[in-house]
Amino acid sequence: MNKIIMFVILFNTISHGNEFLKEGTFKTTYYYATNLKIAEKRAKECQTLNEMTFAIERDCENAKNAFRRSKRNKANNDFINQNFIK
Convert the pLDDT of each residue in 42-78 to its tens digit: 888 888 888 878 888 888 898 989 888 888 877 778 7
Nearest alpha carbon to residue 37 among 79, 74, 66: 66
Q: Name the DSSP letter for residue 50.
A: S
Q: Which of the four pLDDT bands, split at 50, 70 and 90, describes residue 19?
A: very low
CA distance to 12, 13, 14, 23, 27, per residue, from 19 (Å): 12, 10, 9, 7, 17
pLDDT of 84 above 80: no
Convert the pLDDT of each residue in 59-68 to its tens digit: 889 898 988 8
